[in-house]
Amino acid sequence: MFTIKVITPQNKFQQFKQKWNSIPKKFRINLIALALLVLVIPISITAVLNQVRIRSNASINPSGTVTFTIPTPPAPLTINTSYPLPVTIDTGSSKVTGASVELLYDPAKIQINSVTQGDFLTNVLANPKIENGKITFTFAAPPESGGKQDSGTLATIELKPLVIGKAHIFFSNNSLAAAIGFSDNVLKTAEPVALTIISPSPSPSPNPSPSPSPSLSPSPSPSLSPSPSPSPLANPADLVDTEDKPGDEVNIYDYSQFVSDFGKIGEAGWIRADIDKNGKVDIFDYILFVKEYDK
């Protein structure tokens, strides 16, 4: 005669409980901590990888048509040698009126010597600025152009690699593009660049030491005088209220509206773009607009 022992989930739990309680309390605490660590590490790694993925090819607006790109150089860069690097735009089907770019880089790996405006958007709304690992500029199409639809160079960055290895330049999520017929950001993607930096090849003949680049100190920022005290009156150049409050800020979306209204004629002050209220939106309104931009 024999006995059949039925093992139920309750029995298994009781067995586990007995074995668990037989383990010293100190070891039980260590096991719990280890289990939590095993769970947290993959979550943290996933979050970091997702952030890198976002910065590597940020999709700013999936319904947009515009792409910003920094093309990868055809060959590795040599340390302590200056190189030009273009920042390009492809507008797709949009008629772009302005582009505001913010680039991020590691100043311990890359030195930015200068930023030169390209020939695609020829008006300046905010001059290039280089500071603390960040480059910013805002360029625009002429107001009479009605926007620009094509591809070309927004700016050229002159940089000098400082270390051997890898370095990156990213577009931040503050980068944007404005276009005729749109009230929000039309930037779809902003593609960064990964730079490979190598040491110089040995030369059989002695080379004279390279003369130092003229004035490696950063160019003085253009006229950073403090802005005047805010006026209780609304800013007359604040034409639309995208990403701001009525009358408080003049940004790239206001410029897009200005370009759309440029050349229109009507009663004095009939539309907001008629800033000087003379019945037509012309170059004199443009001068007033640029004066108020980014205020």
For residues 43 and 84, membership in a common domain is answered with no
Q: What would the pLDDT profile of 233-275 be if each residue is shown by its tens digit? A: 678 888 887 767 676 788 889 898 999 888 899 888 878 888 8
For residues 182 and 292, membership in a common domain is answered with no
For residues 88 and 155, membership in a common domain is answered with yes
Residue 133 vs residue 272, higher pLDDT: 133
CA distances from 173 to 62, 100, 167 (A): 13, 11, 19
Look at residue 56 in the predicted model and tell me its pLDDT. 44
For residues 73 and 161, membership in a common domain is answered with yes
Look at residue 49 in the predicted model and tell me its pLDDT. 38
Look at residue 38 in the predicted model and tell me its pLDDT. 63
Quick check: is 47 in a domain?
A: yes
Q: What CATH number is given to the structural domain containing 279?
A: 1.10.1330.10
Quick check: is 118 in a domain?
A: yes
What is the number of structural domains in the chain? 3
For residues 191 and 271, membership in a common domain is answered with no
Quick check: is 73 in a domain?
A: yes
Look at residue 133 in the predicted model and tell me its pLDDT. 96
Domain span including residue 42? 18-56
For residues 47 and 82, membership in a common domain is answered with no
Quick check: is 174 in a domain?
A: yes
Q: What would the pLDDT profile of 43-83 be if each residue is shown by its tens digit? A: 554 444 344 433 445 557 888 999 999 999 999 999 999 99
For residues 39 and 88, membership in a common domain is answered with no
Quick check: is 207 in a domain?
A: no
Quick check: is 48 in a domain?
A: yes
CB-facing half-sphere around the CA of 38: CA atoms within 13 A: 6
Q: What CATH number is given to the structural domain containing 92?
A: 2.60.40.680
Look at residue 219 in the predicted model and tell me its pLDDT. 52
Q: Of 140, 172, 198, which one is at a domain's C-terminal end?
A: 198
Quick check: is 205 in a domain?
A: no
For residues 87 and 176, membership in a common domain is answered with yes
For residues 64 and 191, membership in a common domain is answered with yes
Q: What would the pLDDT profile of 189-215 be if each residue is shown by its tens digit? A: 998 999 999 999 876 666 666 666 555
Q: Among residues 280, 73, 269, which one has the least CA distance to residue 167?
A: 73
Quick check: is 282 in a domain?
A: yes
